[in-house]
Amino acid sequence: MSQFTMSQFAFPPPPPSPAADAFRAEIRDFLAAEVEHRPALDRAQSWNGLDPAFSRKLGARGWLGLTWPKRYGGQERSGLERYVLLEELLAAGAPVGAHWIAERQSGPSLLRYGTEAQKAAILPRIAAGECFFCIGMSEPDSGSDLASVRTRAEREGDGWRVNGTKLWTTNATHCHLMILFCRTGPLDREHRHAGTSQFLVDLTLPGITIRPVRNLVGEHHFNEVVFEDVRLPGDALLGREGEGWAQVTGELAYERSGPERFLSSFRLLVELVRVLRPAADARAEIALGRLGAEIITLRRMSRSVAGLLQAGADPALEAAMVKDLGALVEQAIPEIARDLVADGPPTPQARAFAEVLAYTTLHAPSFSLRGGTREILRGIIARGLGLR
């Protein structure tokens, strides 16, 4: 029986990390200089905010790929130090979107499955903030049911020929490379996950067309990426042919448990405190306290998963749980914030609050879709409980 944790899910207390505590102060100094002057609405964009120059600045400090081996441009620091860096960047509303995917999951996938040549060629560029990645998983007819993808790579000579369409590909127009998940073998109805592979795709290759898809606010983050007889060299294969499913699901503990899974609305909470502080009543205090309790608890869960990842465990279920609970809090924040603040004269603070509230409210539906929907996550948890 473990300390305070469940019989079914294990969230051990995050291990202490004095190095991470010292690092936090250094990060806060940097953010005070680099981010604090930015407008509230920019900061509210959280990990949607794109600023390649800022990403390069982080790279120059050695703050991308912090845990990676030095020979690939990393710093060989601990996962908990990286955790502190990520949460501080997000809490401050730093524009981390350009490098986020590359640093979070593409780089780690390369480290795990890449050939020496792939690692040597790409990882140092990610670490420098000069190489950005997008995720080529979803398709028009394959969302939650990712195994049903129809994009296909066929062997041709010593390379591959790819045809198909990826959709919802965030930031494709700003990225250099995509990790493409597609079919390389026939669909076997009994073993739907077999016959899939991953590729490193240079997005400048002939035959690739990227079309913007505007989101409901009119922003361009999403894209449709069409592959028409795109020829990939043999060394574009990532990992092993036919192992795509295992590789892609291996990314998910990284993708689902990080601080971005409960901090997407955090800047709204900051603006809320700014407008409430002069005259907070009991109702406001209670509402803030409830959200604070959720965030404090989720942060500990998320750090616990970071500790497990660092220790080499596979906390995929715990990660699904963090993401499910985190999205609930992220979506509760705008609902509660709008209720606590009445309209009034358009002071600069009131205007900033209103802008950030609108931004966060309109983006909130995506929090329980991207990275695996609420229902899919709960299905994963249920399976972990021994149901099905």
Task: Measure the CA–CA gap between 358 and 268, rounded to whole angstroms.
Answer: 10
Helix (H, G, I), strand (E, B) or coil at 2: coil
Nearer to ligand FAD, 134 or 263 (CB): 134
In the list ligand FAD, other proteins, none, the entry touching 134 (Cβ below 5 to 8 angstroms by class) is ligand FAD
CA dihedral defined by 244, 131, 77, 93, rounded to 10 degrees? -100
173: contact with other proteins by CB under 8 A: no
How far is 133 from 105, CA to CA, in rounded Å? 9
Q: Which residues of 323-351 are buried (b: 16+ CB within 10 A; e: fewer)?
A: bbbbbebbbbbbebbbeebeeeeeeeebe
Tokens for 203, please give them.
């997005």
Note whether 375 binds ligand FAD by CB under 6 A.
Answer: yes
Other C-beta atoms within 10 Å of 39: how many?
11
Out of ligand FAD, other proteins, none, which partner does residue 168 contact, by CB within 5 to 8 A per kind? ligand FAD
Q: What's at 8, amino acid-wise?
A: Q
Q: Is there binding between residue 370 and ligand FAD (CB under 6 A)?
A: yes
Q: Is 182 in the site for ligand FAD (CB under 6 A)?
A: no
Which entry of ligand FAD, other proteins, none binds 170, CB below 5 to 8 A by partner kind?
ligand FAD
Alpha-carbon dihedral angle through residues 11, 16, 22, 23, given to the nearest 10 degrees: -30
Q: Interface mask (CB under 8 A) for other proteins, residues 18-47, using x and -?
A: ------x-----------------------
The residues in 299-328 that bind other proteins, with binding defined as CB under 8 A, are 299-301, 304, 318, 321, 324-325
Q: Which does 287 bind (CB under 5 to 8 A by kind): ligand FAD, other proteins, none?
A: other proteins
**Secondary structure (3-state) at 166:** strand
Looking at 248-256, 257-265, 271-279, 365-373, which segment touches ligand FAD (CB under 6 A)? 365-373
* CA 270, chain centre distance (Å): 22
Encoding tokens for residue 41? 């609405």
Stretch binding other proteins (CB under 8 A), from 4-12, 60-68, 168-176, 204-212: 4-12
Question: Which tokens sit at 230?
Answer: 């795109």
3 state SS of 253? helix
Enumerate residues 129-168 that contact ligand FAD by CB under 6 A. Answer: 134-138, 143-144, 168
Using rule CB under 8 A, residue 274 touches other proteins: yes
The conformational region for residue 210 under phi > 0 = left, psi -120 to 50 = alpha, else beta, is beta
Distance of CA 47 to the CA centre of its chain: 8
91 binds other proteins (CB under 8 A): yes
Binding residues with ligand FAD: total (CB under 6 A): 16
Please state the closest distance from residue 223 (CB atom) to ligand FAD, in A.
8
DSSP designation for 260: G
CB of 214 to ligand FAD, least distance (A): 12
The answer for residues whose C-beta is within 8 angstroms of residue 218's C-beta and 6 or more apart is none
When asked if residue 293 is in the footprint of other proteins (CB under 8 A), the reply is: yes
Stretch near other proteins under the rule CB under 8 A, chosen from 123-131, 297-305, 355-363, 365-373: 297-305
Q: Which residues bind other proteins (CB under 8 A)?
A: 1-9, 11-13, 15-16, 24, 87-88, 91-92, 266, 269-271, 273-274, 276-277, 280, 282, 284-290, 292-301, 304, 318, 321, 324-325, 375, 377-379, 381-382, 385-388
Q: Which residues bind ligand FAD (CB under 6 A)?
A: 134-138, 143-144, 168-170, 366, 369-370, 373, 375-376
